[in-house]
Amino acid sequence: MKLSKRIITAVLIIIGSSGAVYAYSKHGDWGMTPEEKVEFVTERVTRKLNLDNQQQQRFTELAETVAQIMLDARGSRQQHIDEIGELLQDPSFNQARMMEMVQQKTQMINEKAPMVISSLAVFLDSLSAEQKQQLQDFLQNHRHGHGARH
């Protein structure tokens, strides 16, 4: 698999994993902990790809990594929303402060990306050719979001 395809696949899996965790947290988690959400997503992926124990463990590690990053990002979310609200109330929009906030988020992503990509690589490298094809088919059918088949 070419490096660019691996990167694209990695990003899509990360988005899919975090999207699944996020969607489930928004739509009926009934007070689930992050660990329970990771377990839910892992069970679903395990069923869909028929993962063996080792592959399941590797996916769990990936899902836990993504979930932790989401928790870290969520921790400062309300603060950023409040600060953006303050910026919008100012007579003149503080572009420098907004750029600083964007750069802080970008820096966090840049710091966490190697850890996620490494965990993703370990998981993807454990998949069989058939499982990788199933994953590619899934991504192809869901690339437009929300399961739309185009």
At which residue do the structure tokens 């994993």 appear? Answer: 17
pLDDT value, residue 83:
87
CA angle 107, 109, 113 (to 5 degrees): 125
Task: Indicate whether 81 belongs to any domain.
Answer: yes
Looking at the domain assignment, is residue 150 inside a domain? no
pLDDT tens string 59-68: 999 888 888 8
Token output for 65: 């990594």
Range of the domain at 34: 3-142
Residue 128, phi then psi, degrees to nearest 5: -75, 170
d(CA 66, CA 22): 11
| Number of domains comprising the chain | 1
In this structure, are residues 62 and 18 in contact, taking their beta carbons and an 8 Å threshold? no
Is residue 119 domain-resident? Answer: yes
Does 148 map to a domain? no
Is 72 among the domain residues? yes
Q: For residue range 104-132, list pLDDT tens digits in order.
A: 888 888 888 899 899 999 999 999 999 98
Task: Examine residue 43 and state whether it is found in any structural domain, yes or no.
Answer: yes
Contact yes or no for 37/23 (Cβ under 8 A): no
Residue 16 in domain: yes
pLDDT digits (tens, 9 = 90+) for 88-109: 888 898 889 888 988 888 888 8
